């Protein structure tokens, strides 16, 4: 959904296909129903959380970082909290609140 929206913002005509009755259904189950959105660790510490060599991610994360993701949700009315281990969750504790922002953004 994020990729579809980014493509559309850059002028592409986008069709998003989903085989389930609803997009983002799986995300509602993530983080035990709370959705661990990202990590608040910065730079190399963030990259070190990836298995193997995450160095290839530097250029992508320079374009859109973990902080950009948190800002993306905050701007759309989703308050977030950072918990133990720098894990970022919706303040509501409901993955559903994260998921409902994405189809709106994609539309």
20 near ligand FAD (CB under 6 A):
yes
CB of 17 to ligand FAD, least distance (A): 5
Start-end of H helices in the chain = 2-9, 30-33, 43-47, 58-63, 66-75, 95-99, 101-106
86 near ligand FAD (CB under 6 A):
no
Residue among 5 and 27 whose Cβ is closer to ligand FAD: 27
Residue among 17 and 51 whose Cβ is closer to ligand FAD: 17
81 near ligand FAD (CB under 6 A):
no
57 near ligand FAD (CB under 6 A):
no
Candidates 14, 16, 28, 31; binder of ligand FAD (CB under 6 A) is 31
Which string of b and e fits 30-68 if b means at least 16 CB within 10 Å? eeeebbbbbebbeeeebbeeeeeeeeeeeeebeeeebee
Q: Are 28 and 95 in contact (CB under 8 A)?
A: yes
Residue among 3 and 12 whose Cβ is closer to ligand FAD: 3
Give contact residues for ligand FAD (rule: CB under 6 A): 17-20, 26-27, 29-31, 35-36
């Amino acid at each position: 959904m994020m990729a579809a929206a980014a493509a559309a913002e850059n002028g592409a005509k986008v069709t998003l296909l989903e085989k389930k009755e609803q997009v983002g259904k799986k995300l509602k189950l993530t983080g035990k129903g709370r959705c661990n959105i990202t990590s608040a660790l910065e730079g190399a510490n963030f990259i070190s959380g990836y298995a193997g060599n995450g160095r290839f991610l530097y250029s992508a994360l320079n374009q859109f970082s973990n902080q950009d993701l948190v800002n993306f949700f905050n701007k759309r009315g989703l308050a977030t909290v950072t918990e133990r281990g720098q894990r970022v969750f919706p303040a509501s504790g409901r993955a559903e609140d994260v998921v409902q922002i994405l189809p709106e953004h994609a539309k």
